[in-house]
Amino acid sequence: MRVKICGITNYEDAKMCCDAGADALGFVFYKNSPRFIGGRDAREIIKKLPPFITKVALFVNFTPTQINETMKFLKADIAQLHFDVNDEFVSKLNCKYLRVIRAKNKNDIEKFADEYKLVDAYVKEYGGSGKRVALEWFENRDNSKTILAGGLTPENVFEVGRYGFYGVDVSSGVEEYPGKKDKKKVRKFIEVAKYGLR
Protein backbone atom coordinates (compact mmCIF):
# COMPACT_ATOMS: atom_id res chain seq x y z
CA MET A 1 0.00 0.00 0.00
CA ARG A 2 1.28 3.47 -0.93
CA VAL A 3 1.36 6.12 1.78
CA LYS A 4 1.00 9.86 1.36
CA ILE A 5 1.76 12.11 4.31
CA CYS A 6 -0.10 15.37 3.97
CA GLY A 7 0.34 18.81 5.51
CA ILE A 8 4.12 19.13 5.31
CA THR A 9 5.24 22.58 6.47
CA ASN A 10 9.02 22.22 6.88
CA TYR A 11 12.01 20.36 5.46
CA GLU A 12 12.83 18.51 8.66
CA ASP A 13 9.43 16.78 8.62
CA ALA A 14 9.62 16.17 4.88
CA LYS A 15 12.99 14.43 5.20
CA MET A 16 11.84 12.42 8.22
CA CYS A 17 8.74 11.19 6.31
CA CYS A 18 10.88 10.19 3.30
CA ASP A 19 13.34 8.35 5.54
CA ALA A 20 10.42 6.55 7.17
CA GLY A 21 9.28 5.25 3.76
CA ALA A 22 6.55 7.67 2.61
CA ASP A 23 5.73 7.46 -1.10
CA ALA A 24 4.26 10.94 -1.42
CA LEU A 25 4.16 14.22 0.49
CA GLY A 26 1.38 16.82 0.42
CA PHE A 27 1.68 20.60 0.67
CA VAL A 28 -1.43 22.61 1.59
CA PHE A 29 -2.01 25.88 -0.29
CA TYR A 30 -5.10 26.84 1.67
CA LYS A 31 -4.51 29.97 3.70
CA ASN A 32 -7.00 29.11 6.48
CA SER A 33 -5.21 25.89 7.28
CA PRO A 34 -2.78 25.53 10.20
CA ARG A 35 -0.77 23.46 7.68
CA PHE A 36 -0.60 26.22 5.07
CA ILE A 37 2.75 26.64 3.37
CA GLY A 38 3.76 29.45 1.03
CA GLY A 39 4.84 28.70 -2.55
CA ARG A 40 8.46 29.75 -2.08
CA ASP A 41 8.90 27.63 1.05
CA ALA A 42 7.29 24.61 -0.59
CA ARG A 43 9.48 25.01 -3.67
CA GLU A 44 12.64 25.02 -1.54
CA ILE A 45 11.56 21.81 0.20
CA ILE A 46 10.54 20.13 -3.08
CA LYS A 47 13.93 20.97 -4.62
CA LYS A 48 15.72 19.03 -1.89
CA LEU A 49 13.51 15.94 -1.83
CA PRO A 50 14.71 12.56 -3.12
CA PRO A 51 13.81 11.71 -6.74
CA PHE A 52 11.33 8.89 -6.17
CA ILE A 53 9.02 10.83 -3.83
CA THR A 54 5.79 12.16 -5.34
CA LYS A 55 5.19 15.80 -4.50
CA VAL A 56 1.51 16.72 -4.21
CA ALA A 57 0.13 20.26 -4.02
CA LEU A 58 -3.32 20.69 -2.40
CA PHE A 59 -5.63 23.36 -3.72
CA VAL A 60 -8.97 24.75 -2.53
CA ASN A 61 -10.90 27.14 -4.79
CA PHE A 62 -8.06 27.95 -7.19
CA THR A 63 -8.71 28.59 -10.89
CA PRO A 64 -7.12 26.31 -13.52
CA THR A 65 -4.72 29.11 -14.48
CA GLN A 66 -3.65 29.61 -10.87
CA ILE A 67 -3.11 25.86 -10.46
CA ASN A 68 -1.09 25.61 -13.69
CA GLU A 69 1.12 28.54 -12.69
CA THR A 70 1.64 27.29 -9.14
CA MET A 71 2.47 23.76 -10.28
CA LYS A 72 5.03 25.07 -12.75
CA PHE A 73 6.61 27.26 -10.07
CA LEU A 74 6.73 24.45 -7.50
CA LYS A 75 7.82 21.68 -9.86
CA ALA A 76 5.31 19.48 -8.02
CA ASP A 77 4.03 16.25 -9.57
CA ILE A 78 0.30 16.19 -8.82
CA ALA A 79 -2.37 18.77 -8.03
CA GLN A 80 -4.83 17.51 -5.42
CA LEU A 81 -8.14 19.29 -5.93
CA HIS A 82 -9.92 19.55 -2.60
CA PHE A 83 -13.00 21.28 -3.99
CA ASP A 84 -15.70 20.30 -6.51
CA VAL A 85 -14.39 20.45 -10.06
CA ASN A 86 -16.09 19.27 -13.23
CA ASP A 87 -14.57 17.73 -16.37
CA GLU A 88 -14.32 21.11 -18.10
CA PHE A 89 -12.26 22.45 -15.21
CA VAL A 90 -9.77 19.56 -15.22
CA SER A 91 -9.48 19.69 -19.03
CA LYS A 92 -7.78 23.09 -18.57
CA LEU A 93 -5.04 21.70 -16.32
CA ASN A 94 -1.57 21.07 -17.75
CA CYS A 95 -0.60 18.76 -14.92
CA LYS A 96 -1.53 15.43 -13.40
CA TYR A 97 -4.33 15.84 -10.88
CA LEU A 98 -6.18 13.93 -8.20
CA ARG A 99 -9.80 14.83 -7.55
CA VAL A 100 -11.00 14.59 -3.97
CA ILE A 101 -14.42 13.16 -3.17
CA ARG A 102 -15.57 14.55 0.16
CA ALA A 103 -17.95 11.69 0.75
CA LYS A 104 -21.25 12.18 2.58
CA ASN A 105 -22.72 8.81 1.61
CA LYS A 106 -21.95 5.55 -0.16
CA ASN A 107 -23.11 6.81 -3.58
CA ASP A 108 -20.48 9.55 -3.52
CA ILE A 109 -17.60 7.08 -3.67
CA GLU A 110 -18.76 5.87 -7.11
CA LYS A 111 -17.84 9.22 -8.76
CA PHE A 112 -14.93 9.34 -11.23
CA ALA A 113 -14.96 5.54 -11.54
CA ASP A 114 -12.24 5.41 -14.21
CA GLU A 115 -9.71 7.73 -12.60
CA TYR A 116 -7.53 7.66 -9.50
CA LYS A 117 -9.14 9.75 -6.79
CA LEU A 118 -8.88 10.46 -3.10
CA VAL A 119 -11.88 9.81 -0.87
CA ASP A 120 -12.02 11.87 2.31
CA ALA A 121 -14.77 12.32 4.89
CA TYR A 122 -17.10 15.26 4.30
CA VAL A 123 -16.65 18.13 6.74
CA LYS A 124 -18.10 21.60 6.28
CA GLU A 125 -14.80 23.37 6.72
CA TYR A 126 -11.86 22.19 4.61
CA GLY A 127 -9.03 20.55 6.40
CA GLY A 128 -7.37 17.53 7.90
CA SER A 129 -10.18 17.08 10.42
CA GLY A 130 -9.56 13.56 11.63
CA LYS A 131 -13.10 12.52 10.60
CA ARG A 132 -13.38 9.01 9.13
CA VAL A 133 -15.17 7.60 6.09
CA ALA A 134 -17.35 4.52 6.76
CA LEU A 135 -15.22 1.55 5.73
CA GLU A 136 -18.25 -0.63 5.03
CA TRP A 137 -18.95 1.51 1.94
CA PHE A 138 -15.89 -0.10 0.35
CA GLU A 139 -16.91 -3.73 0.88
CA ASN A 140 -17.19 -5.92 -2.23
CA ARG A 141 -15.99 -3.36 -4.76
CA ASP A 142 -12.83 -2.53 -6.68
CA ASN A 143 -10.90 0.06 -4.64
CA SER A 144 -7.69 -0.14 -6.67
CA LYS A 145 -8.07 3.46 -7.92
CA THR A 146 -8.97 4.88 -4.53
CA ILE A 147 -6.75 6.58 -2.01
CA LEU A 148 -8.42 6.57 1.38
CA ALA A 149 -8.09 9.59 3.67
CA GLY A 150 -9.78 10.92 6.75
CA GLY A 151 -9.14 10.10 10.37
CA LEU A 152 -6.51 7.44 9.79
CA THR A 153 -4.01 6.87 12.58
CA PRO A 154 -1.17 4.45 13.39
CA GLU A 155 -3.69 2.61 15.58
CA ASN A 156 -6.51 2.17 13.05
CA VAL A 157 -4.76 1.96 9.67
CA PHE A 158 -4.50 -1.85 9.96
CA GLU A 159 -8.29 -1.94 9.43
CA VAL A 160 -8.04 -0.73 5.82
CA GLY A 161 -5.56 -3.37 4.63
CA ARG A 162 -8.14 -5.83 3.35
CA TYR A 163 -9.99 -3.40 1.04
CA GLY A 164 -7.36 -3.22 -1.71
CA PHE A 165 -6.95 0.57 -1.79
CA TYR A 166 -4.29 2.07 -4.05
CA GLY A 167 -3.05 4.03 -1.07
CA VAL A 168 -3.79 5.88 2.13
CA ASP A 169 -3.38 9.54 3.05
CA VAL A 170 -2.87 10.90 6.54
CA SER A 171 -2.31 14.28 8.09
CA SER A 172 -3.61 14.98 11.60
CA GLY A 173 -3.20 11.35 12.69
CA VAL A 174 0.60 11.58 12.54
CA GLU A 175 1.01 15.05 14.04
CA GLU A 176 2.49 16.26 17.30
CA TYR A 177 0.30 19.36 16.80
CA PRO A 178 -1.26 20.92 13.65
CA GLY A 179 1.55 21.55 11.17
CA LYS A 180 4.19 19.46 12.96
CA LYS A 181 4.67 15.77 12.24
CA ASP A 182 5.54 13.26 14.96
CA LYS A 183 8.36 10.89 14.01
CA LYS A 184 7.13 7.91 16.05
CA LYS A 185 3.59 8.21 14.68
CA VAL A 186 4.81 8.59 11.09
CA ARG A 187 7.05 5.54 11.36
CA LYS A 188 4.36 3.40 12.94
CA PHE A 189 1.71 4.54 10.46
CA ILE A 190 3.87 3.69 7.45
CA GLU A 191 4.96 0.35 8.84
CA VAL A 192 1.40 -0.78 9.62
CA ALA A 193 -0.04 0.59 6.35
CA LYS A 194 2.57 -1.22 4.28
CA TYR A 195 3.13 -4.45 6.23
CA GLY A 196 0.17 -4.80 8.61
CA LEU A 197 0.41 -5.54 12.31
CA ARG A 198 3.56 -7.56 13.06
Ligand X SMILES: O=C(O)c1ccccc1NCC(=O)[C@H](O)[C@H](O)COP(=O)(O)O
Q: Which helix (H) or strand (E) holds 76?
A: none
CB of 46 to ligand X, least distance (A): 17
Per-residue binding letters, 32-71, with ligand X (x by CB under 6 A): -x-x----------------------x-x-----------
169 binds ligand X (CB under 6 A): yes
**What is the SS3 string spanning 19-40?**
HCCCCEEEEECCCCCCCECCHH
> Which listed residue (1, 3, 6, 190) binds ligand X by CB under 6 A?
6
Tell me how far CA of residue 50 lies from CA of 20, 22, 25, 62, 87, in angstroms. 13, 11, 11, 28, 33
> Which listed residue (37, 55, 173, 193) binds ligand X by CB under 6 A?
173
Tell me how far CA of residue 85 lies from CA of 74, 138, 146, 157, in angstroms. 22, 23, 17, 29
Q: Rule CB under 6 A: which of 60-119 touch ligand X?
A: 60, 82
Nearer to ligand X by Cβ, of 105 and 140: the residue is 105
If you ran DSSP here, which 8-state letter would residue 61 be given?
S
Q: Which stretch binds ligand X (CB under 6 A): 11-19, 30-38, 91-99, 182-190?
A: 30-38
Nearer to ligand X by Cβ, of 51 and 125: the residue is 125
Strand partners, 25: 5, 55
Report the residue count for the chain. Answer: 198
Q: What's the CA gap between 138 and 181, in Å, rounded?
A: 29
120 binds ligand X (CB under 6 A): yes
Q: Characterize the bridge pairing of strands 180-181 and 175-177.
A: antiparallel
Note if 17 is an active site residue: no
Nearer to ligand X by Cβ, of 64 and 127: the residue is 127
Site for ligand X, rule CB under 6 A = 6-7, 28, 30, 33, 35, 58, 60, 82, 120, 126-130, 149-152, 169-173
- Active site members: 6, 120
